[in-house]
Amino acid sequence: MREIDLSKYQIRTDLVVDLIEENSSLEQKYNYKNVSVSNISLDKDSSLKLGKKPGDYTTIYFDDITDTTNYKNVLKILIDELKKMLKNSKITDDASCMIIGLGNEKSTADELGVSAAKNVTVTNHIYNLTGSLEKGYRITTCLIPGVMGTTGIETSDIISAVVKKVEPDFVLVIDALASDSIDRLLKTIQITNTGINPGSGIGNNRKEISSDVFNIPVIAIGVPTVVDATTIVSDTLNYMKKHFSYNIKNKDSVTDKLIPSSRINYLKNNNYTLSKEETSYFLGALGNLSNEEKKLLINDVLTPIGYNLVVTPKEIDFIVFKLTNLIGEAINKSIHNISTKNI
């Protein structure tokens, strides 16, 4: 079991926060009501170490977005963070923008980029016609390139051809992502000015979409909409350790028995851990594998038999509807200075 060849399987993760240690100096955090935000800046050194590109990574964490109050709070933060990201990327108010919505609009789990992009107000044709725009508007175009399975063309080839023709000053690309953690699924928005790395999305955008390729700033907005069975199993085994530890520590406590074993109680509490022996007793050798080894093993079990399903919550339709409205509105209010075009 220990002989598993670690090199054969590259751990897939799209969220840089998955790679950062707790309390790293690379990360700055803050909260706004029940929304929390992580700002990570990778210089060349730290970028090499983590295998991620140098640049800015912002992650916004939230709860159920179909709740009206959550929606408003996340909207406020997303507008703020997009404005910051534009500023950090040295994009001026008069720079022209191309919005790119990635993904397959026929797939609920993959349509997020397309639907969000369609909610952004475009202005380039009006500028070309009249020679000016109303105050507050930026010259903006929008491209929905489709996915390779339905176009037969590399998505990045379509984008680079149109970018070359239209010559926007920067690109803002939106995509659905895969997550390596249950608790981020549909509950985080990541913004980065490092582009989208190859193979990271859930769609078919296989070639890199980044400033290295297009020679203009590329800002990417991503939301994890799917998770694989490997991650679900691996995360659950970790939660199980916390669960056992909590139950052991509180087995004689009448008070604690009455407290629902909610997330607050132990999920983020580092005191709830098992010793190696306890782990062996409860979860055997499996329990003492590192996260990486555990994922490799589970993947080895599930993939050959066809059950490493990539899944999405059954409420995906309603959540994606809200998220695409939210992202569209936030982009309108940060690149332009207006409300969303959908009343």
Residues in 277-336 at the binding interface with its own copies, rule: CB under 8 A: 279-287, 297-298, 300-302, 304-307, 309-318, 322, 325
Among candidate residues 214, 208, 189, 211, the one with its CA nearest the CA of residue 334: 189
Minimum Å gap between C-beta 53 and its own copies is 25
Tell me which residues in 46-85 interact with its own copies (CB under 8 A): 68, 71
Which of 40, 85, 142, 189 touches its own copies (CB under 8 A)? 142
Among candidate residues 241, 235, 217, the one with its CA nearest the CA of residue 179: 235
> Would you say 102 or 142 has its CB closer to its own copies?
142
> Would you say 57 or 246 has its CB closer to its own copies?
246
The whole-angstrom separation of Cα 197 and Cα 211 is: 11
Question: DSSP states of 240-294 as a string?
Answer: HHHHHHHHHHTTT-HHHHHS---HHHHTT-TT----HHHHHHHHHHHHTS-HHHH
> Would you say 48 or 310 has its CB closer to its own copies?
310
The pair of structure tokens assigned to 37 is 């935000």
> Would you say 16 or 147 has its CB closer to its own copies?
147
242 to 68, 160, 245, 266: CA distances (angstroms): 32, 48, 5, 7
Tell me which residues in 228-267 interact with its own copies (CB under 8 A): 229, 232-233, 235-237, 239-240, 243-244, 247, 260-263, 267
CB 277 within 8 A of CB 205: no
Q: Kindly state whether residue 41 participates in binding its own copies, applying the rule CB under 8 A.
A: no
> Would you say 22 or 152 has its CB closer to its own copies?
152
Minimum Å gap between C-beta 33 and its own copies is 17
Which of 22, 165, 270, 271 touches its own copies (CB under 8 A)? 165
Minimum Å gap between C-beta 109 and its own copies is 4
Tell me which residues in 20-39 interact with its own copies (CB under 8 A): none
# binding residues, its own copies (CB under 8 A): 89
CB 139 within 8 A of CB 129: no
Q: How many residues does the chain have?
A: 343
Tell me which residues in 107-136 interact with its own copies (CB under 8 A): 107-110, 118, 122-126
Which of 90, 164, 249, 257 touches its own copies (CB under 8 A)? 164
Q: Kindly state whether residue 153 participates in binding its own copies, applying the rule CB under 8 A.
A: yes
Among candidate residues 4, 16, 3, the one with its CA nearest the CA of residue 179: 16
Alpha helices in 97-143 (DSSP H): 112-118, 124-130
Q: Which stretch binds its own copies (CB under 8 A): 20-28, 37-45, 53-61, 158-166?
A: 158-166
Which of 87, 106, 249, 257 touches its own copies (CB under 8 A)? 106
Q: Kindly state whether residue 152 participates in binding its own copies, applying the rule CB under 8 A.
A: yes
Tell me which residues in 194-233 interact with its own copies (CB under 8 A): 202, 225-227, 229, 232-233
Contacts of 135 (CB under 8 A, 6+ apart): none
Minimum Å gap between C-beta 197 and its own copies is 20
Helix axes 291-302, 229-249, angle to 10 degrees: 130
The whole-angstrom separation of Cα 328 and Cα 338 is: 11
